[in-house]
Amino acid sequence: MSTKVPSVKLKIDPQDLHIQTFTVEKLLEPLIIQVTTLVNCPQNPSSKKKGRSKRARVLLASVEEATWNLLDKGEKIAKEAIVFKEELHVALADVRKESKSLKVSAEAFTSDPCYLPKRQAVVQAARCLLTAVTRLLILADMVDVAYLLEHLASAPPL
């Protein structure tokens, strides 16, 4: 990757990002489905023995692992990036913060998965994490687009 700052002007406000690409939406779809299924808990759960939810703990572990992998890759992108460097670091810090928040609320949730307020707290934390991850993905895409545009602008015509 070149150390030259791309001179291409992008009409993008990194403070006001929205999902506008099908690719980002498709990447997030499995996470959104998992978060949505957490909401669909019966109001009156069965009277069967209640205990710790193994599935929730496994799900939490997989979300944590995926988040740390994403953070690792995001750190590498931020380290090499010349454009949007500060915004990338802010987005990474936000993902880290929301991941910790999800972990705390999810651990409380796994001890009593049918208690509606705990379920609502973990769903809200998961949605906040999805928002932070989305912002990070969009910023990383913006860095790629800036470099691609610079490359195209400096390439000789065919």
Whether residue 140 is predicted with pLDDT greater than 90 in this model: the reply is no
pLDDT mean over 110-126: 86
* Residue 54, pLDDT score: 58
Confidence of residue 2 (pLDDT cuts 50, 70, 90): very low
Label residue 32 exposed, middle or buried (CB < 10 Å: 0-12, 13-18, 19+): middle
Confidence of residue 99 (pLDDT cuts 50, 70, 90): very high
Tens-digit pLDDT profile for residues 11-28: 566 666 555 555 666 666
* Residue 100, pLDDT score: 95
pTM of the model: 0.70
Tokens of 22: 């099908």
Angle, CA 128 vertex, CA 77 and CA 123 arms, to 5°: 135
Asked whether the CA dihedral 26, 17, 91, 88 is positive or negative, the reply is: positive
